Each structure stands twice: as C-alpha cells, then as structure tokens.
Amino acid sequence: MFKNVTTLTEFILEEESKFPQATGNFTLLMTLIENATKIIGSHIKKAGLVDILGQTGGTNVYEEEVQKLDVFSNDLLVNILSSSNLVSTIASEELEKPIRLKNKGHYAIFFDPLDGSSNIDTNVSIGTIFSIYKNSGNYLQKGSQQVAAGYVVYGSSIMFVYTSGSGVNGFTLDPSIGSFLLSHPNIRIPEKGSTYSINEGYFEMFDIKVKNYISSLKKEKKYKLRYVGSMVADIHRTLLKGGIFLHPADFKNAQGKLRLMFEVNPMSFIVNQAGGKSISGTADPLEITPTSVHQRTPIVLGSSQEIDKYLSSIKS
Ligand code: P6P
C-alpha cells in the first residue's frame, strides 16, 4: 500500500547525503519546521470548533486558554526553534524585532507563521511561509542568499512545498500516518497561464501602466481572475497551474504591501527555482538589499512568459 513512497524526512536525508560536508543541522531544522506545521495544521482543522468550545482568547470548556491561531503558530515556531540550538536569529512577521540567541546556531530564519490568518474564520486556505539563511554578521541578507525557502498551505489537504536551491518539491500530509509524502516531485511552473491574480479592488489606485495591463488581459478572452487573498493559496495555484500573481505598489502603498523578508523573498526563490520569474518594480526582488526586517516591496511573479508579457506591457 505504501510502496515507492518517499516521506519528507527521507527526501531531506537523501538531499543531505549529496553534500559530504553536511552536518545534519539543516535536516534537523527542516524536521522541526515540519513538526511545527503539523501541529499548526491540526489546530487549524479544529479552528471552527473553537467557537463551540470557547471563544478565541478566552478559555474553552476544558479550561484551556484558547489563543488566536496566528499567535499560537508564532509562539510554537519560536519555542521549537529557540530550543534547537540550530538558529541564532529568529524573525517573525508577528514580532516587532528579531530574537537574537546567544548560541552557535548556523542559521537565521524568517517566517510568517500564519499568512492570510484573517481568512481563518471563513475556512479559506491559509499558510506558513519560511525562509532560511546561513548566519552572517548582518542577519538582513539579500533573498539571493537564502539556503532554503518553503511554505505549508493548509487547504483541502495540507501541503509542504520547499526548495533548497535544486528545484521545488511538494509533499502532501497523509493524516492517517501523520507524514508528509512526496506527491509533487520537481514542480515546474507552466511557461504561461490563463489566470491573473490581483486585488482589483485597488484598481483605481494602481499606476496607469498597471491599469492598462489589467485592461489588456480583459480584452483577451483566455484570462480569468482568481484571487484568494492568502498569498500562499494564490502562489500555490500559480505554481501548479501557471499564470501571474501581482501585488503592485499603489497610491496608498507606494512601497507595496507584502513583506520582502517574510513573503516576497521566499516565494520569489521558490517560483524562480520552479522556472518562473519574479520582479519588484522592474528589479529582481532577490537582489534587493534589505534595510529593515519588516520592509515592504511590490511583487509580480509567475510564469516566465506572463512576466515577460507584463514587463513589455508596462514598458510600452
Ligand atoms: P489584500 C494576507 O493578509 C496578505 O499578507 C497575503 O497573504 C495576501 O496575498 C495579501 O496580504 C492580501 O492583501 O490587500 O489584497 O487584502
């Protein structure tokens, strides 16, 4: 029944064996992240019951304190990673400042513990996004320095998708055995797609070039709009089906809304590794030198031909 099945742990161990100098620290770090996301996923599946069992933020019938899921997810990841001695910098979208640990940890980790968490109450897919760097003097490094990046999408199934620089692989949680199993080996984003993903509610605030691009897509019958409002869900669909995801700057958010270190860099690394492209304005987001941990940046990413089409549209 389970022949020819590769678990995430086996996959990461096989990857590690390709690097003779590997210490096993990266494998352990990824395993800790995996375990944390399994726990987060199990709490999300029960989220709807919280209202029955007790109000979020209060205590439930078991007299357990019911935390908001994004706070719970953040605290879980921080606690697991802080006690691992593997990371010496922990930065979270939920924490104003990074945690700097006095240990010999080789890595710095950035995560958005529960991206799109405002969608929890309506049962819309949400996700955890993570980005791993080798420690260096300045913990703020360009996205091109990432050693790994990944996301977990808590949707109809729970999927763990990551890259460590040699392609993108996807694993689906089999709840019956509690393991992520390799279900999407070597993900390649289609070179073009028929879906564009943008919050058209901001249309009037976009630059005229973006408006013209969107209008040009509407004239072509092949394009349809799909926008979940959870970056992980929108990127996961774009990665598997092709298309383009845009969260550009607008008159209210001149720097864009999405965060460079927690959302844009990891997702750009993943999409690029799957054969797609990503741009911030007209620059490569992975080459942006970060100046602050929560800095925001515009982002457009997806199928290579769709990005080329977007660039030629806004440059014309
Ligand atoms: P808007 C969720 O709040 C988030 O950070 C991303 O997951 C998502 O892509 C984006 O913001 C949605 O932003 O402005 O369209 O609601």
**Token representation of residue 162:** 């990551």
3 within a domain of the structure (yes/no): no
Distance (angstroms) between ligand 1 centre and the Cα of 177 equals 33
Residue 138 belongs to domain spanning: 8-184
Give yes or no: residues 250 and 117 share one domain: no
Identify the pLDDT of residue 127.
97
Give yes or no: residues 88 and 208 share one domain: no
By most ligand atoms within 8 Å of CB, the mutation choice from 73, 120, 258 for ligand 1 is 258
Distance (angstroms) between ligand 1 centre and the Cα of 255 equals 14
Helix (H) or strand (E) holding 70: helix 69-82
Give yes or no: residues 222 and 124 share one domain: no
Q: Which CATH number characterizes residue 52's domain? A: 3.30.540.10
Give yes or no: residues 43 and 13 share one domain: yes
Location of structure tokens 């879980």: 76
Q: Which residue has the higher pLDDT, 31 or 136?
A: 31
Domain count, the chain: 2
Give yes or no: residues 38 and 147 share one domain: yes
Instruction: Calculate the CA dihedral of residues 30, 32, 38, 44 and round it to 10 degrees.
Output: -110
Q: How confident is the model at residue 57 (pLDDT cuts 50, 70, 90)?
A: low
Give yes or no: residues 282 and 234 share one domain: yes
Q: Is it the case that residue 60 has pLDDT exceeding 70?
A: no
Give yes or no: residues 89 and 28 share one domain: yes
Ligand 1 proximity of 168 Cβ (cutoff 6 Å): no
Residue 284: name the closest of 307, 305, 262 by CA: 307
On whether the CB atoms of residues 279 and 306 are closer than 8 A, the answer is no
Give yes or no: residues 43 and 162 share one domain: yes
Location of structure tokens 């064996």: 17
Q: What is the pLDDT of residues 243-288, one digit of tens each?
A: 999 999 999 999 999 999 999 999 999 999 999 999 999 899 999 9
> How far, in Å, are 21, 50, 100, 165, 302 from residue 231 at the CA level?
35, 25, 28, 21, 13
189 within a domain of the structure (yes/no): no
Q: Which CATH number characterizes residue 262's domain? A: 3.40.190.80
